[in-house]
Structure 1
Amino acid sequence: MPGRGSSAPKSAPRGPAALRRDRLRKDRDGDLAMDVAVKGRAARVGKSSPVPTGPRSEGSARSSRGGLLSTGAQRAILKHAGAGDIAMKESRSSQSRGNLELRISNWTKNKASSNPDGGLSSLLSWLEKKASTRLSSRARTVKIKKSRKDGDDVVISVPAEDVGALLRLDGYMWAGINVSVKRLTGDGKTAETNDATEKTRNMLKGVLERRYNADAKLLDFSQLASDPELQQEAVFNSKSTASKFFPAMMVVLDKAFDSVKDRDAAVQSVSLANNELADLKVVSSLSEFLPQLKNLDLSNNKFEKLDQLVLWRKRFHHLDQLVLSGNPIEQADPTFATTIIQWFPKLRTLNGIQVRTDEEIAKRAEAGAIPFPLRSASFQDEGGIVVEFVKNFILGFDTDRSALAKHYYDDKSDFSYAVNTSAPRDPAASEAEKGDWGDYIKNSRNLKKTSHPGARQHRLFRGTQAISDVFNGLPKTKHPDLAAEARKYMIEAHIQPGVPDLTGQSLSGVDGFMITMHGEFDEVDATTGQSKKKRSFDRTIVIGPSVPGSPSQVRVVNDILTIRAYGGAQAFDPDNFEDWTTTAPPNTDNIPQFPAGVTLEMAEQMVIELQKQTRMTIGYAKDCLEQVSWDFARAVQAFESVKGNLPADAFVAA
């Protein structure tokens, strides 16, 4: 199942302004970072404007007692948020109509109290301005309809759809004091919210909105651990909670928008400066939720080597500016810039220095253009890795299979093939041609016809020599030219997470590619080179990073070939698509079916998470989830009950 992952093949599959504040500013949006504040100014990208601070801790940071995340149950909310359980869109259909009242307390002893009205008009203007700063598709201008004094408090009346935006200001600092904002019930009493999920949602939403600069389209996540509100909630007091915080915040960000287009248009720059980051694991989800990012600031962290940045190796294809200044890698690896520039093909500026011109980027795009037309719009590639592999693979299979096996396959590579004798034949053919499968049947691993476990295992080939031998036992072939006869192919490629990392650095695996090819070939006479019979084929190949010293940058992890009678190429022609779908309904046996409420994207994430928790292979994790109808909790329970009986190959090799 293709999905979003991290890291990539070998050199492939293995920063937003650097804003600095030495102290918090009152009633201003300041930089609040993920660990101790780091002094020094880094290269800047885009505009830099302050963001309103959240609730200020009194004296030193308060303990977690009384905080939103002070209990194990509340911390678990972040985990659920990271899995997509928090709904953030402020749907008007779910809100009551009319105006609601809020009570504003603890405001009288403010710096504007010398004004004739005691600072009331300034308070109301501030509330409207801050509540109107929303990071969502439904941004709107908040207007307070009415206000009245009630003792030392102020009661305001606002439209129901604006209540949530104002309640998020509870505890924010205005004119030197922390203002209290509470909802009133029908009898005029203060309504206290005990829903931990709502509190956590509002806290995460508040962090995002305080740190968003709409003019610069910038999310400033610098110095997160110094953020008073996050200190108050003890978010970074434990590794468990800290690791869940950023993914949960990304989910909240995603759900704040009605569409991916709205989200990408609103956020084009991100700063992660001054966060004591030594790798990208905690913040890796940024590339999943903001893949179109143009400006990224990673300055003043603890990156020492490229391996600590490789999770974003195949991400951010539109990255224009990157800041890495203030990291140890500048001294530890003098050549790091060369590699970084190769990683991001559209990068113009690195650490404030121009590394490419517009002309160079245009030439690179032209040079990296796919050299053969593809019969599919679903083709993910980076740096031409898949294109190069497909070209070399088809040529090698036709000319020198032993050399092909040595180049791309190793002792952990798997290969199997199967003959499909019942596949549809070419509809244009006047009569059915005999199959003549004698050269294939011996090692065919058609699981519908081969049920004995021993036979199935015997027909799965592992290792360079075994694969080379079985390759050479198959009839010689001649595939159509990729450039001249592209209409005879359908080729797709998807990023494949969880590919085993042979270096052992990542237990959860790295990113590779899943390549699917549908096409045809001619069987040719080994002596004369003349065509004997035309066949159709389907081939699925998973490639991943090779180990240092290998003849290729990528290795074949798994290769599955299906050979069938010639079925023509009409299915690949868009002009004939309608005819084929009406006369020959497509086979849906292999289309994944999910229960209501579970999407393909959710299923992919469940597979990845189950694999991380259990160390099972992708295949076993998927099978486990399918058996419990994609109920993640039941899948974990099922694994615990049978893990002692699972074979060794059910787990990712250590």
Structure 2
Amino acid sequence: MAPNGPRKGAGPSGARNPRGSTGNGLKSVTRGGISKRRSNVAGRVDRDGDLDMDAPVNGRESRKPKRDDSIPTAPRSVRQATNGPRGPRPTAKAQQIIQRVITGTGGNITSRLANGMSGGPKAFKGSRQINAPHTMTLRVEGLKSSKAANNEGGGLKELLNFLERKAQSVAKTSRPIRIKKSQIKGDFVYITTSKEDGEDILKLNGFSFAGTAISITEATPAERESGLSSDALEIKDNLRDVLSARYDVNAKLLNLSTLGDDPVLHQIGFFSGGSKPEKLFRALMAVCEGLFKSPQEKRNAVVSVSLAGNNVDDVFQIMALADTFPDLVNLDLSRNHFKDLKGVLKWRHRLQKLETLLLNDNPIEVATPDYKAELVTWFPRLQNLSGLQVRTPEQVAAALAALRPTPIPQHGADFRDIAGVGEGFIKEFIRMYDVDRNSLAAMYYDEQSTFSLAVDNTFLHSSNTPRPQSSAYIKFSRNHTKITHTGPRIQRLFTGTNFIQSVWQQLPPTRHPDLATDFNKYIIDCHPVQGLQDPSGQNPAGMDGIIITIHGEFQDQEPVSLNTTTRSFSRTFVLGPGVPGRNPIRVISDMLSLRSFAPLPTSTPGPTAQSNEELQKQQMIIELCKQSGMTPEYSRFCLVEANWVFQQALVLFNEKRAILPAAAFATQ
């Protein structure tokens, strides 16, 4: 139940037609469109005198018993409509276009209007739609001049098969390449495919097909728009007019109440032929999407939406609203047909910024009187529910703060040295690692020393700089979240001076900040450790040593591009007594971890230091990267969309996982 026009086939007394008649448009063939009315017969009204927009859904009414003609009907004078007769019936062609607009079953108008419009119930289960935002339209030139042009169908089938097969081969991928739609227009063939597949097909630009070189480029917005027919453009303009007339710029309110009374929607046939109401909302929301250039512009323009008086009984029918305006603050669902919480359940993890929700004059108020207590838990920012205050702004702020992960407090370095051994080692190690790694390894490492390297690609890095290349490090990386098998883990643990020297020679040259002048770019901890093996064998109980952890940064030079890159690193050393006859201090274990550059919390003193809130956000991004496998950029986008509510970001990720591009996920 949702916005719909009056039932077709209602006679002057308001009774339905007998079984098998054209009353519901299912039992017999009809011409479709809006039924013609006599000038002295108005539309059906309910007991309150309002226009009745209820209508059978999916043909279920045909299975109901016929209405008892003995039941008295309202006098004709009661059923008189106040809006007068409707506009002219739309043509069959217009109705076909409308069907393509609102069903997503083909035609260019869908992709132009929808640009991500849901394609039906399966779309909410994470499936990728043809008209999703991650599609690409390409222009292919050369078919007309090829030998295949004389084939049946103009050679289009052969060209599409060639593009799919060749693109998969050139891209060297096991993923099948799929062209979703195609159209010959003049000398060009326009194809629509996913963003990922489109990038691979573009690599075929200049390849030879059936004796001619083909040119493949991405279609311009003007070319995509030109695919719309004049009728489709007229419908699109009509929908824009409806939205424009119902938008209050001062209140930032989009008033979509009582859509069943809108004469424009009736005139273009949105309530004819038993159309499903959710299709109307998808079409309207698709046009809304095209009116805004960015999510922020959308948030600034539309704060409140009213859907009052639309006979909606399940939010599934208006799911497109939550997809288009996920950051709504105020929503009016009063005077609808919500009977219980099941009708609102599909929005349990959506509209998380909602502060006002009106469900007045819905059956749920009587059938489920305690519904308010449950809805408060679904919407963490909700303050006003059906006219009653359920939270204060202070309570909302406290609840949201409790959901954010709290980073471990930073108390500065803890350096507990033994006879200056730790300080002397760090100073010499930083200097020699940059200028003479072979001598450094020979001095402090022996045949029992171990070295390992781990590259962390999920760590947050500045959005103002591109992600640094790590190819020179990846082949040695022992990151246990990526290297999960025992064999490769053992192979990437390098033991002995010679192996360590060999690995160090293959790593890019580095330059660390000077410890004396740039000490604020480091955090160094040093602690005594007991029970280390005595290499001389004279102390079976073990000997004392030191464990040192240093966090900092260095610059290196990428081997291919020769670009200089700044990276953050952490390095942990375990120092113990040396072998007799050699250096008295040796490195027992050396673990190096590399990540994208991020300033240390203490590296920028004064008012520009990172705030507590920013640290919390970084912590959330890191945690979301770990749980989802996404890159920091996409993790940040996800958290921003969820307004930095971590649990909501996880829900959002799971909903959108199927349509995320491959670039959204971190690689080893």
Is this a same-fold pair by TM over 0.5? Answer: no
What's the TM-score once normalised by structure 2's chain length?
0.34
Relative to the length of structure 1, the TM-score reads: 0.35
Which structure has the bigger radius of gyration? 2
Q: Which has the higher contact order (CA 8 A, sep 6+)?
A: 1
